Amino acid sequence: AQSVAQPEDQVNVAEGNPLTVKCTYSVSGNPYLFWYVQYPNRGLQFLLKYITGDNLVKGSYGFEAEFNKSQTSFHLKKPSALVSDSALYFCASRQLTFGSGTQLTVLP
């Protein structure tokens, strides 16, 4: 069975500090991994994706993620968090399997 796990329901980080939102996957074949962000009362918005090639992918709003095949992980990172980054983040494999979401709160 295909699955995506986000082990942390909530991540708090101070503004200006680096942030990491974790994601692991269990997928047969090419995982085609995505990160999406959801702001209140809105649909999910695409941030970045890994399909093949360079393991470090860069996306919107200064976010990046590193694909690690040996650890089956695809953690989302940003060097310096902003209060406006506070939102719900989802990791997904292909378009069919989503993680449970991680609420990121950036404290001023």
Partner 1 sequence: DAGVIQSPRHEVTEMGQEVTLRCKPISGHDYLFWYRQTMMRGLELLIYFNNNVPIDDSGMPEDRFSAKMPNASFSTLKIQPSEPRDSAVYFCASSYNQGGYNSPLHFGNGTRLTVT
Contact residues: partner 1, CB under 8 A: 30, 32, 34, 36, 41-46, 49, 51, 90, 94-101
Asked if 90 and 44 touch (Cβ cutoff 8 Å), the reply is yes
What is the residue-wise DSSP string for 51-80? -SS-SEEE-GGG-EEEEETTTTEEEEEESS
Least distance (Å) between residue 14 CB and partner 1: 27
Q: Which is nearer to partner 1, 52 or 108 (CB)?
A: 52
Number of CB atoms found within 10 A of residue 81's CB: 21
Q: What's the min distance (Å) between Cβ of 44 and partner 1? A: 5
Q: Report the residue number, 34 or 78, with the smaller CB distance to partner 1.
A: 34
Distances (CA, A) of 58 to 19, 44, 53, 108: 15, 18, 13, 25
The residue (of 15 and 94) whose beta carbon lies closer to partner 1 is 94
CB of 62 to partner 1, least distance (A): 18
